[in-house]
């Protein structure tokens, strides 16, 4: 005995089809595989190719805390050695630069107050640089206290 595929459609399907044919209506075909042409990738989409040289790393996080007696700057500088990090204070600006074999970082910050560069204390631990600066006493405040 030979196996035959039976018509799996319900009986009402044939009745609807006959009605459509009698009225002259044609049902739209939803899938036509003969006309389908796939170019390139067999699934119809291309693989995403990313050029790593054009991707930029996220900028390191910086936080400036204005305390009563001084200013604390916390910077996240992962991957840099302590010897390659340079910190410079110029008036109300803090210049932070770091160099590595394959990347560079440069940031110029405006500080909320004038600081004394001689009283700068830095610590670098686990990729986090902490800079403590002492605020300079303003001349206007000194003259008000004295006179």
Q: How many domains does the chain contain in total?
A: 1
Half-sphere exposure of 116 (CA within 13 A, CB side): 9
| Enclosing H/E stretch for 22 | helix 11-23
Q: Does 8 or 116 have the greater pLDDT score? A: 116
142 — pLDDT class (breaks 50, 70, 90): very low
Supply the range of the domain harboring residue 137: 57-146
Residue 132 belongs to a domain: yes
Extract the tokens encoding 56: 């930029």
Average pLDDT over residues 79-86: 91
Residue 141 belongs to a domain: yes
What CATH number has the domain bearing residue 139? 2.60.40.790
Q: Are 109 and 87 in contact (CB under 8 A)?
A: no
Average pLDDT over residues 2-27: 71
Residue 10 belongs to a domain: no
Residue 96 belongs to a domain: yes
Extract the tokens encoding 97: 């630069």
| Enclosing H/E stretch for 35 | none
Residue 28 belongs to a domain: no
Kindly report the pTM of this predicted structure: 0.57
Residue 122 belongs to a domain: yes
């Amino acid at each position: 005995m030979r196996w035959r595929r039976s018509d799996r459609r319900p009986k009402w399907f044939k009745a609807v089809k006959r009605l459509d044919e009698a009225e002259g209506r044609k049902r739209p075909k939803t899938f036509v595989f003969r006309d389908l042409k796939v170019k390139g990738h067999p699934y119809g989409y291309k693989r995403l190719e990313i050029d790593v040289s054009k991707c930029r790393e996220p900028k390191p996080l910086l936080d400036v805390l204005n305390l009563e007696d001084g200013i604390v700057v916390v910077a996240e500088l992962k991957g840099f050695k302590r010897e390659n990090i340079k910190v410079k204070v110029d008036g109300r600006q803090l210049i932070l630069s770091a160099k590595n074999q394959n990347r560079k970082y440069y940031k110029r910050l405006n500080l909320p107050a004038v600081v004394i560069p001689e009283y700068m204390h830095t610590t670098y631990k686990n990729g986090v640089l902490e800079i403590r600066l002492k605020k300079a006493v303003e001349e206007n405040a000194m003259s008000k206290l004295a006179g």
